Amino acid sequence: MNAQPYLSQLFSLDGRVALVTGGSSGIGRAIAGALARAGAGVVVVARREDQLIATIDELTSEGCRAGWVSGDLGSRDGVRAAAEAAAAVFGEPDILVNSADVNLRPPMDELGEDVWDTTMTVNLEAPFLLGQRFGPGMAERGFGRIIHVTSQQAHRAFVRSGAYGVSKGALESLARSQAEAWSPYGVTCNTLVPGFVMTPLNARLSSDPEKVAALAERTMVGRNGLAEDFAGAAVWLAGRSSAYVTGQSIHVDGGFSVH
Ligand SMILES: NC(=O)c1ccc[n+]([C@@H]2O[C@H](COP(=O)([O-])OP(=O)(O)OC[C@H]3O[C@@H](n4cnc5c(N)ncnc54)[C@H](OP(=O)(O)O)[C@@H]3O)[C@@H](O)[C@H]2O)c1
């Protein structure tokens, strides 16, 4: 028996177009790679060109369809400009992944309006504006997948969550509102919820072996997350076989959240 046709029917992203913010590093990069290897044309949005080029070179060298846009999601105009530039690469996206974030964590007493504003703009407003830009078109075409990357800090305080945790909690609420609006038209909206994943985002914490080991112990699997752990969940959520899953927060955390 050849399982390939059945697997393709469930999971292939052939012919789809995906936009992945923060797709040049860490979890976003792993998701962008997974979607591209599953057949989607993928456009990656972030600021640093060298990281973008390295990501896209890796994918195109494997025969994937991939492009990049250098854009700053730290202002509403920046988000709008990045959205238009991204849509110009392979056309309007069928799949939108919001993985870009900022992770600023001053003590609560010192959390100023600047940190609050930056955090909310990149972590919450950008996903909202990109949803407003692309969600209605997906609904009109009868297929869409919006995937936000949130955090365990949407559910619990953790090492001075501050504005970051608030932005992630609101992002999960946004996913439910988007799901309510567009699911009747074939557009699902869900969030992937990481625990602790060794990426450049948390370089400082990752460099403390004792803390890293203590965090690994809090999982059920017995290790911290890797960016690659998100590949399968992202392909599934981006494809047709997850059509009946919407408005959900899916923890990819080795059991961290339930231990
Ligand atoms: N790693 C973890 O333990 C962990 C845990 C919970 C949740 N998460 C979530 O997972 C997602 C990915 O995190 P990660 O660990 O993979 O982070 P990462 O490796 O630091 O990647 C962050 C990405 O966002 C981009 N970015 C940041 N600010 C931007 C801006 N203003 N405009 C455009 N792009 C911007 C970065 O590229 P440029 O800097 O070049 O712009 C980079 O591509 C985030 O939403 C994060 O909150 C991670």
Query: If you measure from the C-alpha of residue 100 to the centroid of ligand 1, how many angstroms do you get, rounded to a whole number?
Result: 4
Q: In this structure, are residues 228 and 199 in contact, taking their beta carbons and an 8 Å threshold?
A: no
Question: Among 201, 208, 212, 250, which residue has the most ligand 1 atoms within 8 Å of its CB, making it the best to mutate?
Answer: 201
Residue type, 152: Q
Query: If you measure from the C-alpha of residue 5 to the centroid of ligand 1, how many angstroms do you get, rounded to a whole number?
Result: 35
For residue 224, the ligand 1 atom closest to its alpha carbon is 3
Query: If you measure from the C-alpha of residue 233 to the centroid of ligand 1, how many angstroms do you get, rounded to a whole number?
Result: 18
pLDDT for position 148: 98
Rounded to an integer, what distance in angstroms lies between the CA atom of residue 29 and that of residue 156?
Answer: 26
Rounded to an integer, what distance in angstroms lies between the CA atom of residue 221 and that of residue 253?
Answer: 9
pLDDT for position 78: 98
pLDDT digits 0-9 by tens, 137-172: 999 999 999 999 999 999 999 989 999 999 999 999
For residue 47, the ligand 1 atom closest to its alpha carbon is 41
Query: If you measure from the C-alpha of residue 194 to the centroid of ligand 1, how many angstroms do you get, rounded to a whole number?
Result: 12
For residue 122, the ligand 1 atom closest to its alpha carbon is 31
Question: Among 99, 104, 202, which residue has the most ligand 1 atoms within 8 Å of its CB, making it the best to mutate?
Answer: 99
pLDDT for position 19: 99
What is the architecture, at CATH level 2, of domain 4-198+227-248?
A: 3-Layer(aba) Sandwich (3.40)
Residue 241 phi, psi (nearest 5): -75, -10
For residue 98, the ligand 1 atom closest to its alpha carbon is 45
pLDDT digits 0-9 by tens, 78-131: 999 999 999 999 999 999 999 999 999 999 999 999 999 999 999 999 999 999
Give me the DSSP letters along the chain: ---HHHHHHHH--TT-EEEEETTTSHHHHHHHHHHHHTT-EEEEEES-HHHHHHHHHHHHHTT--EEEEE--TTSHHHHHHHHHHHHHHHSS-SEEEE---------GGG--HHHHHHHHIIIIIHHHHHHHHHHHHHHHHT-EEEEEE--GGGTS--SS-HHHHHHHHHHHHHHHHHHHHHGGGTEEEEEEEE-SB-SGGGHHHHT-HHHHHHHHHHSSSSS-B-GGGGHHHHHHHHSGGGTT--S-EEEESTTGGG-
Residue type, 181: A
pLDDT digits 0-9 by tens, 225-235: 999 999 999 99
Query: If you measure from the C-alpha of residue 124 to the centroid of ligand 1, how many angstroms do you get, rounded to a whole number?
Result: 13
pLDDT for position 52: 98
Residue ranges lining ligand 1, Cβ < 6 Å: 22, 24-28, 46-48, 51, 72-74, 99-102, 122, 149, 151, 194, 196-197, 199-202
pLDDT for position 259: 94
pLDDT digits 0-9 by tens, 184-213: 999 999 999 999 999 988 888 888 999 999
pLDDT for position 20: 99
pTM: 0.98
pLDDT for position 34: 98
Residue 164 annotated among the catalytic residues of the structure: yes
CB burial of residue 70 (10 Å; 0-12, 13-18, 19+): middle
Close Cβ partners of 127 (under 8 Å, ≥ 6 residues apart): 21, 98, 148, 171, 174
Residue type, 68: W
pLDDT for position 204: 81
Chain Cα centroid distance, residue 235: 12
Question: Among 121, 156, 199, which residue has the most ligand 1 atoms within 8 Å of its CB, making it the best to mutate?
Answer: 199
